[in-house]
Structure 1
Amino acid sequence: MGEVVETCDYSSGGIEEEKIKYPTSKWSVRQICKDGKRNPEGICFNPEDCTTDAGNPGTRYTLFRDGENVGTACLSAGEEDLVDDPPPIRALVIEAFERLSWPASKLEVQPPGGKTLVNLESNFYTTNSAATSISVNLVESNVVVSARPIAYRWNFGDGTSEVTETPGAPYPSLDVSHVYDQTAKVAVSVDTQYGDASFTVNGGPPEAIPSTIWVTGAAQDLEVVEAVPQLVLR
């Protein structure tokens, strides 16, 4: 029978992904020895061999996160020294961008009062157009992430929607308007896409973030009614 090849739980790339998930954890590795014999520094006299995902010769290690054994890793020469390096702050910011609490836009509808008329141009807008900055702490650094609304998706509640780059405006503007062709009770909302994002670390220069994210807005009821003619006596 041939020699049994031991597989490993992690590659160097897999460890980097884990470091991003656990940015404040301490990582370390320890060689796995074929016979258990080590020198005083813990280096195996006869380490177990493996082949990395890239096809290079490697050594099997036990991987520790905050001192706890989380599996085995196959690392080539030089990759061991990178394990305890902190993950790049940029990677952490990009990964955290979608988890931040970007504000939803408040929808304004005209005519106000929750009612509009059939065949009337109903006006929609929001006042949320300025950039938002959120402070977070990553790997003991003060990071400020900023983004602004770059698009709005207007959901008119009748199966139609429209995407614009502008937030609309109050009457007499009809920048974002919609005509309902029949009476109905609908739920309208506006979703906001944040982008044009950047971050700073400890007050340093801003660096761009390529990510965008949609934030769903709260729905509100709108009743579409017919105008009722009234007789006016003179």
Structure 2
Amino acid sequence: MSTSSASARVCSDAEKRLGICPTGSTESGSGVDIGATEQGPGGGSGGSGGGDGAPTDSGQGSGGSGISPGTSAPSTDGSGLGGNPRRIITDLDPCPDCSEADPPADAPAITLSDLASFSPSRPTFRMEPNGWMLRGLPANFIADPRDETTGGTLLGRPIDVRFTPVSYTWTWGDGTADTVTEPGRTWEELRLPRFSETPTSHVYTERGTMTVGLDVAYAVAFRFDGGDWVTVDGSVSAQTTLDAYVGSAQTVLVPGDCRADPVAIGC
């Protein structure tokens, strides 16, 4: 009968450093059971020649006290590794420069009195017939409106002031007046025959020279130092006048066309 035995295995240097060198074996009918112990960094409680204990004549050391993995607190000052890797904590300022920029200067409260040095241009208007009226027939008047923007300085800073026409007051020179919200249009633009009534026409009943006045009211807005447009409460106005003569017309029979021959008999 022959006998067999398992040959002893020599531990490598790496296994010795890791503390997993087999410590013994038992043989059974189906194989070999190999036993080993594992210790954490720093040595365990008694291992074959391991740890930090002094060697004995038998070749076995007493082993080091060891530190169980994960049980020591991390080093915050870098003085040692302990049982875990070193963790360095650095307090970072979450807001290196949290100073806020100075807010833009608020625009001062501005009223119409502050804008007294700004004014719209003098308005103009036309009439038809041009420069004269017939008693008892409508004369048509047309304003020439326009938005206007003027610039300057206020409190030492730039300002733009905008004037927008909103209403038109006509004083007809005969003691009457009308206020409308449209500037008026010519008979041709309205597709009306001459001497037709319009929203800006007027009928005179007396002969003579009339001074017709126009007063335009403007809404006012300003833009201060490059800011947004701001509407000012109230309105400003600008005026103009025009003299026109009111005459009479008579119907007469003439032998020819007075437009073609103004000096003909009866013309």
Give the TM interval when normalised to the shorter protein: 0.5 to 0.7
Partners in 2 of 1:162 and 1:201 — Cα distance?
36
Indicate whether 1:193 and 2:217 are aligned. Answer: yes
Residues 142-183 of structure 1 deviation map (CA, whole Å, 9 limit, x = unaligned): 110112011111111100010011111111442200011121
Number of the residue aligned with 2:73: none
Number of the residue aligned with 1:229: 251
Indicate whether 1:182 and 2:198 are aligned. Answer: no
Residues 29-59 of structure 1 deviation map (CA, whole Å, 9 limit, x = unaligned): xxxxxxxxxxxxxxxxxxxxxxxxxxxxxxx
TM-score where L is the length of structure 2: 0.50
Number of the residue aligned with 2:141: 124
Residues 68-100 of structure 1 deviation map (CA, whole Å, 9 limit, x = unaligned): xxxxxxxxxxxxxxxxxx996333x53232332
Partners in 2 of 1:108 and 1:121 — Cα distance?
14
Q: Alignment partner of 1:90: what SS?
A: coil
Partners in 2 of 1:120 and 1:222 — Cα distance?
14
Indicate whether 1:160 and 2:179 are aligned. Answer: no
Kept after mapping to 2: 8 A contact 1:103/1:215? yes
Partners in 1 of 2:151 and 2:224 — Cα distance?
10
Unmatched 5+ stretches in structure 1: 1-85
Unmatched 5+ stretches in structure 2: 1-104, 191-197, 257-267
Partners in 2 of 1:206 and 1:101 — Cα distance?
17
Indicate whether 1:213 and 2:232 are aligned. Answer: no
Number of the residue aligned with 2:89: none
Indicate whether 1:169 and 2:185 are aligned. Answer: yes
Which of 108, 114, 127 does residue 109 from structure 1 map onto? 127
Counterpart of 2:222 in structure 1: which amino acid? F
Kept after mapping to 2: 8 A contact 1:107/1:189? no
**Which structure is higher in helix share?**
1
Partners in 1 of 2:201 and 2:173 — Cα distance?
13
The structure number with the bigger radius of gyration is 2
Aligned in 2, Cα 1:200/1:122: closer, same or farther, shift over 3 Å? same
Kept after mapping to 2: 8 A contact 1:89/1:138? no
Give the drift of 1:132: 1.1
Give the drift of 1:127: 1.4
Give the drift of 1:108: 0.7
Partners in 2 of 1:211 and 1:101 — Cα distance?
14
Aligned in 2, Cα 1:220/1:109: closer, same or farther, shift over 3 Å? same
Indicate whether 1:133 and 2:149 are aligned. Answer: yes
Partners in 1 of 2:138 and 2:167 — Cα distance?
22
Matches within 5 A, 1:11-160: 89-91=108-110, 94-112=112-130, 114-128=131-145, 130-160=146-176
Partners in 1 of 2:138 and 2:213 — Cα distance?
17
Give the drift of 1:106: 0.7
Partners in 2 of 1:205 and 1:136 — Cα distance?
16
Q: Alignment partner of 1:142: what SS?
A: strand
Give the drift of 1:102: 1.0
Partners in 1 of 2:247 and 2:112 — Cα distance?
47
Structure with bigger RCO (C-alpha 8 Å, 6+ apart)? 1
Fraction of identical pairs, as percent = 23
Partners in 1 of 2:154 and 2:255 — Cα distance?
73
Consecutive aligned runs of 4 or more in structure 1 exceeding 4 Å deviation: none
Partners in 1 of 2:242 and 2:253 — Cα distance?
33
